[in-house]
């Protein structure tokens, strides 16, 4: 028996805005939405497709839940994203910045092969170098 990584839960002040931002950033879709919880999954996932994928091979979604406090310190856990080698990494970073992401410093070296960004509520994530796999 193995566990399936089901979701990444993101604490936030405005669940609808955060879910919409991440859906746009990743090309995902919001499949459940109310003031207390929003759920995003990859854009290509449909109930029919999900039924044909073995349980343990279905990737995680993102769940956004409200918390009363704002973010105050660096995340202990963050997400890493990588563009494909056929994509323009700098253009992707510019697209995320145009959506509202901001470059942040968490102590990374100046010559890092990754770029640290924060979503509109300050949650850090990284855009890595381009990858084939």
Closest CA to 6 of 45, 66, 55, 65: 55
DSSP string, 14-71: -HHHHHHHHHHHHTEEEEEEETTEEEEEETT--HHHHHTS-GGGSPPEEEEEE-SSPP
Is the separation of the CB atoms in 38 and 63 below 8 Å? yes
| pLDDT class of 56 with cuts at 50, 70, 90 | confident
Domain boundaries, the chain: 7-66, 79-127
| pLDDT class of 1 with cuts at 50, 70, 90 | low
Give me the pLDDT at residue 98, please: 98
**Second-level CATH architecture of 7-66:** 2-Layer Sandwich (3.30)
pLDDT mean across residues, the chain: 94
| pLDDT class of 25 with cuts at 50, 70, 90 | very high
CB under 8 Å to 64, separation ≥6 — which residues?
A: 9, 10, 12, 15, 18, 19, 22, 37, 38, 39, 40
Q: DSSP assignment, residue 110?
A: T
- Per residue in 64-93, pLDDT tens? 999 999 888 888 899 999 999 999 999 999
Number of Cβ within 10 Å of residue 31's Cβ equals 15
């Amino acid at each position: 028996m193995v566990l399936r990584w089901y979701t990444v839960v993101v604490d936030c002040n405005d669940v609808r805005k955060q879910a919409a931002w991440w859906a746009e950033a990743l090309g995902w879709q919001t499949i459940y939405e109310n003031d207390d919880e929003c759920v995003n999954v990859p854009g290509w996932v449909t109930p029919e497709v999900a039924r044909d994928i073995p349980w343990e091979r279905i990737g995680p979604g993102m769940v956004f839940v409200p918390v009363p406090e704002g973010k105050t310190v660096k995340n202990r856990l963050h997400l890493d994203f990588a563009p494909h080698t056929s994509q323009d990494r700098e253009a992707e970073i510019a697209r995320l910045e145009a959506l509202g992401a901001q470059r942040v410093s968490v102590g990374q070296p100046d010559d890092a092969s990754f770029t640290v960004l924060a979503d509109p509520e300050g949650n850090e994530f990284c855009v890595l170098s381009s990858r084939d796999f």
